[in-house]
Amino acid sequence: MYYPEPIENLIINLMKLPGIGRKTATRLAFFLLNSDESYISELSRSLTDIKDKIRLCSVCYNLTEKDPCQICSDERRDRDTLCVVEEPSHMMVIEASYPNRYRYHILHGVINPLDGIGPDDIHINELKLRIEKENIKEIIVATNPNIEGNTTAHYISEILKGSQVRITRIAFGIPIGGDIIYTDSQTIKSSIENRKDL
Amino acid sequence: MYYPEPIENLIINLMKLPGIGRKTATRLAFFLLNSDESYISELSRSLTDIKDKIRLCSVCYNLTEKDPCQICSDERRDRDTLCVVEEPSHMMVIEASYPNRYRYHILHGVINPLDGIGPDDIHINELKLRIEKENIKEIIVATNPNIEGNTTAHYISEILKGSQVRITRIAFGIPIGGDIIYTDSQTIKSSIENRKDL
């Protein structure tokens, strides 16, 4: 015994979304069944719009409607520094702390040999060319503090050896407002190794 | 600083779904951005399909593509009994226990004076007419064991007083596999009051 086919189809399609099982998908499907037609058509259009209207910026690989993107076209931002991030969403997190300050380079992934992702599969070569072309003075590598993020950071510093650019990495340690008692040993190690004079 | 407008629109539309906040909506939007175009168009079509293709059965008010629905057209089912449920999803739960056995009447709601929902706002009058027309012998009222479900069950039994139909309500008590120690006092009361001879 199943729901009528159009409802089953919707449930099955919703179940392909991350973190959504059959129960949640069914709940969402019934919510949608009881929603206004105008909301359904808006949601449906906004889904197809992201495929039709969104592309990657040819400079920084940010998601954008216009090329170059709003950030690359923003004259207020520091022209000497680039923040290198894994994903567009990571860029947004840095923007929230430093609005309109930095320009970015979005790798769209990290080096991950186990998944068969090498340096040529992410936008690393484009980063190197860009540093030369735009005469960048510093890159702040803001990849995640895990194996893939570290590997990627090291690879970037390797291929830029001999160039004049300063390469820095964001600091890892106990988060502000965190508590030493709840901090894992890797983080403690990082915060001891990277201690600063008071 | 926001994402490009098409992405923001999608996030805002996803946030209108129940239980989905900005964080989850953003995660879903980025998943969708990285999905195949074919999946996006399928999901989008399945959304509009539920509005275009799904209607209510004119007999039982089940959701259906054809009228009367598959269940009402199923000759194997008991013609003397109707299960009265609040929602189509509740019908599915009973079907899972008793496949192809009962026919249903779906109220699409419960009486809830606080929300301004009276008997005329749900399919109760249609139930009364149907019992006469189809010469139903028993209705099993399977509304939820809460104030609204109880009120609705009592209202149904009131308006059917004097008719020949037997009106029963599903039993409430400790669920099978449950444990008395974790059972709330209302459920214990119900299970004591409705005790049976061994």
Task: Tell me the CATH number at B111.
Answer: 3.40.1360.10
**Quick check: A1 contacting B, CB < 8 Å?**
yes
Which residues make beta-bridge pairs with B84?
B105, B141
Q: What is the pLDDT of residues A61-84, one digit of tens each?
A: 999 999 999 999 999 999 999 999
Q: What's the rounded mean pLDDT across residues A45-57?
A: 94
The residue among B81, B149, B75, B50 whose CA lies nearest residue B109 is B149
Residues 5-44 of A with CB under 8 A from B: 5-7, 9-10, 13-14, 16-19, 24, 26-33, 37, 39-44
Say how far apart CA A165 and CA A149 lie, in whole Å: 20
Assess whether A175 and A124 both reside in one domain: yes
Decide if A54 and B4 are in contact by the 8 Å CB cutoff. yes
Residue B26 and residue A89: Cβ atoms within 8 Å? yes
The length of chain B, given as a count of residues: 198
Same domain for B190 and B110 = yes
Average pLDDT taken over every residue of chain B: 93
B108/B172 same-domain check: yes
d(CA B78, CA B94): 14
Q: What percent of chain B has a predicted confidence (pLDDT) above 70?
A: 99
B129 and B181 co-located in one domain: yes
**DSSP H or E run through B83:** strand B81-85
d(CA B78, CA B136): 10
Average pLDDT, rounded, for chain A? 93
On chain B, the residues whose CB falls within 8 A of the CB of A47 are 10, 32, 40, 43-44, 47
* Averaged pLDDT, A88-110: 92
- 3 state DSSP class of A38: helix
- Which of A1, A10, A33 is facing B92, going by the closest CB pair? A1
A63 falls within a domain: no
Cα–Cα distance list, A100 to A42, A71, A75, A104 (Å): 31, 8, 9, 11
Q: Which residue has the tokens 């953003």?
A: B26
Joined tokens for residue A35 = 């929603």
Contacts of residue B95 in chain A, CB cutoff 8 Å? 1
In a domain, B62, yes or no: no
Q: Report d(CA B163, CA A58) in Å as an integer.
A: 76
What gap in Å lies between CA B68 and CA A4, rounded to an integer? 13
Classify residue A162 as left (phi > 0), alpha (psi -120 to 50) or beta: left
pLDDT tens digits, B106-163: 999 999 999 999 999 999 999 999 999 999 999 999 999 999 999 999 999 999 998 9
The chain A residue lying nearest B50, using CA atoms, is: A6
Please indicate, yes or no, whether residues B80 and B35 belong to a single structural domain of this protein.
Answer: no
CA A44 to chain centre: 25
CATH number reported for the structural domain that contains residue A38 in this entry: 1.10.8.420
Chain B hits for A106, CB-CB cut-off 8 Å, are none
Q: Is residue A43 part of a domain?
A: yes
Q: Are residues B137 and B44 in the same domain?
A: no
Q: From B95, which residue of chain A is nearest by alpha-carbon distance?
A: A1
**If you compute the radius of gyration of chain B from its CA atoms, what whole number of angstroms results?**
22
Task: Please indicate, yes or no, if residue A58 is contained in any of the structural domains.
Answer: no
Cβ distance B13 to A51 less than 8 Å, yes or no, reads no
With both helix axes pointing from N to C terminus, report the angle between B147-159 and B124-133 in degrees, rounded to the nearest 10: 40
Q: What is the CA radius of gyration of chain A?
A: 22
A190 and A97 in one domain?
Answer: yes
Residues B40, B85, single domain; the answer is no
- Cβ-based contacts of A40 with chain B (< 8 Å): 47-48, 50-51
Q: How far apart are CA A101 and CA B148, in angstroms?
A: 56
To test the contact with chain A by mutation, choose from B44, B64, B76 the residue with the greatest count of A C-beta atoms within 10 A, namely B44
Q: Do B20 and B100 share a structural domain? A: no
Confidence of residue B166 (pLDDT cuts 50, 70, 90): very high
Q: Which helix (H) or strand (E) holds B39?
A: helix B37-53
Task: State yes or no: pLDDT of B1 exceeds 80.
Answer: no
CA-angle at A187, arms to A182 and A115, nearest 5°: 115
Task: Assess if residue A175 is contained within a domain.
Answer: yes
Domain count, chain A: 2
Structural tokens at position A197: 């004079």
In a domain, A90, yes or no: yes
> Are residues A89 and B30, on separate chains, in Cβ contact within 8 Å?
yes
* Residue A80 identity: D
CA dihedral B116, B117, B119, B124 (to 10 degrees): 170
B91 found inside a domain: yes
| B25/B104 same-domain check | no
Map residue A56 onto helix, strand or coil. strand
- With CB atoms and an 8 Å threshold, state whether A50 touches B10: yes
Q: Is the pLDDT of residue A3 over 90?
A: no
Angle at B36 between CA A48 and CA A130, to 5 degrees: 95
Is B150 part of any domain? Answer: yes
Residue A1: pLDDT band (50, 70, 90) is: low
Closest Cα in chain A, distance from residue B46 (Å): 5
Q: Does A197 touch chain B (CB under 8 A)?
A: no
The three-class DSSP label of residue B10 is helix
What is the residue range of B132's domain?
75-197
What ipTM goes with this model? 0.76
Shared domain check, A21 and A87: no
**B89 with B134, same domain?**
yes
Could you identify the residue written with the tokens 């209302």? B186
Q: Residue B192: pLDDT band by 50, 70, 90 thresholds?
A: confident
